[in-house]
Amino acid sequence: MSFTRRSKLPLLLALSLIVTLIFPSFTAMAEEGNGELMLDGLAYTLHPALSLEETLVRVPDVAVIPRTFGTYYLLFNDVPTVESLQGAVHVTNSAGADVTSLFHIYPDSSRRALAIERLQRLKRNELYTVTLKGGADGLVSSWGFPLPNDLTVNFRTDGQYLFNEAYFTSYQGWIPDLTEFPFSAGAGTGELVASGLGQDGQVKLVIRDADTKEIVSEGTQTMPLSPIRFTLPQDGIYLAAITHTYQQWDMQYGFKIQAAELDIPSRDFPEVYFRNRNLNFISDRMNLLDYVTYEGDWSDVEYMQVWLDGKKIVDNLAAPTGLMPYVLDSRELSDGTHKLHVVTKTKSSPNIGTSMLEFLSTYKLKFTDVALNYFGYHAIRNMTRKQLLSGTSVTTFEPDRDVSRKEFATMLHQAFDVTPEPEGEFPFADVKADDWSRPFIADLAALDWVSGEVQAGERVFLPERSITRAEALAMIGRALQIDPNAYVEAPAFQDWKSVPDWARASIASLTRDGCVHGFPDNTFRPQQNLSRGEAAVILNQFVKK
């Protein structure tokens, strides 16, 4: 948890009673030869500030401190290890009841401190005790020195009353699109007031019981807003989730919560964003790789999650870090508006921050003549999504229709991602200058992937003729640099003798590698015309993933 506020963030004053406590720098090390972890002092702070020295208030044992403190610090001669915290620190009230708290080590190694953040409202004029476990299974320093014995320190709260808290931001700051945070309050009514949101801005509040997670109150308001009122059934700890929508021109907006004895332990929310902040449209066929980034100390991240339309698509729970990739696959998106959320939790704060990105997708395979159980369904979907193939109309693909030689040349060019080159001397007399396929055929000819044939003294490509299975696989063989004269063991097709010599090496190699197959009657049918569906299935295997 970073206790130094970045200057770009506004103070979240709408929840004004929450106190972020910041710890001073200590240079003392465990004295040589001492071999013990020792408590050097106690401190707290009242106001978030730019420097630690401005905010630190040192106190003696059993000092009276304001109820509104956020973090209480125990200063040591060395840094206690995070591992030794487990079960070694307890906070209790005068009746011996546990006080819900969050324990962590101040992350700057030059500041040797155990931070205790209260997660519930503290009583007025109450004595609280912090018990530290000593010995080999208690607190241990980074040098391996233990706290020699159990230790207790005490503080007493003052008698001030808590009334309400405020939380706000402006255009220079940041509020997550969804904020989740714990708070404590007394039984009775309260309200959430939003300000600064433009016309049609919307706010939703959901309050849950922290123990049972049951919803105790929820409400939604659309600008111009009146307060969202809620009722808390009893004194206790609750979880609040605020969702808001706004327009880009809403330069300053914020929220204020009011309730009896309201206390929010922390106003810090993890600041995380999508790298591709300008994503607003997926135009059909794309496989978007993007990243979400945490703006603070990456070692403080407990987890990040990316959700698409309410379904989690990735998280980094196994290896938390501040940069996480995710892939947005348009094949899974229906036409219309979609929402991405990144949910972030840090180790040093009880709060959760969520950023939202909304975008429009206009692609989903809708060919009425390609059934889900068609053998080429996924290949057609993938290649049309990537604009390597197109339908014969908006709703039809005609998978059983023959492929012409110029169509297949274009498909091959696209599937192998051939780099277009300026056209040099074009070798084929029968492809017109304005034919849409000519640039693709020219590139393949320059690569010696196609050669055509000679008729009446001219080299021709026969662009409109349907391509045979043998011709198509010979082209693919040249693209894969299969030597047409190399010996490859012949497949056991009954009609292998009908395969032209110039196609045998390619067909044998591609069959051996599982790229093509024969028919159930153990024939290959090399002179049979290739269908659009078959072309999609074969070429899809060579498309870059």
* Mode of pairing for the β-strands spanning 188-195 and 254-259: antiparallel
**Mean confidence (pLDDT) of the chain:** 79
pLDDT band of 461, cuts 50, 70, 90 = very high
* Mode of pairing for the β-strands spanning 336-346 and 71-76: unpaired
Q: What is the pTM assigned to this prediction?
A: 0.43
39-157 and 272-361 have identical folds: yes
pLDDT band of 506, cuts 50, 70, 90 = very high
Q: Which H/E stretch holds residue 232?
A: strand 228-232
For 164-259, the fitting CATH number among 3.10.620.30, 3.30.70.1280, 2.60.120.20, 3.30.70.20 is 2.60.120.20
**Which of the residue ranges 163-172, 369-378, 393-402 would you say has the lowest mean pLDDT?**
163-172
Report which of 187, 10, 155, 158 is spatially closest to residue 73, judged by C-alpha positions: 155
- CA distance readout (Å), 101 to 117, 249, 534: 5, 40, 64
Tokens 């034919």 correspond to 435
For 272-361, the fitting CATH number among 2.60.40.10, 2.40.160.40, 3.60.120.10, 3.20.20.70 is 2.60.40.10
Spell out the long-range contacts of 369-378 with Cβ–Cβ below 8 A and sequence spacing 24 or more: 369/396, 369/397, 369/398, 369/399, 370/397, 370/399, 370/533, 374/399, 374/533, 375/533, 375/537, 376/533, 376/534, 376/536, 376/537, 378/540
- What is the tens place of the pLDDT at every residue in 214-269? 999 998 887 666 788 999 999 888 998 887 765 544 445 677 788 878 877 776 77
| CA gap 235, 242 in Å, rounded | 21
Q: Where are the domains of the chain?
A: 39-157, 164-259, 272-361, 377-540
- H helical segments located in 292-421: 377-385, 405-415
- H helical segments located in 304-437: 377-385, 405-415
Nearest 10 degrees: Cα torsion 366, 372, 376, 378:
70
Q: Which H/E stretch holds residue 101?
A: strand 101-105
- What is the tens place of the pLDDT at every residue in 56-99? 788 899 999 988 787 888 988 888 888 898 889 999 999 999 98
Tokens 């908006």 correspond to 394
- What is the tens place of the pLDDT at every residue in 54-67? 567 888 999 999 88
Confidence at residue 193, expressed as pLDDT on a 0 to 100 scale: 78
- 39-157 adopts what CATH topology? Immunoglobulin-like (2.60.40)
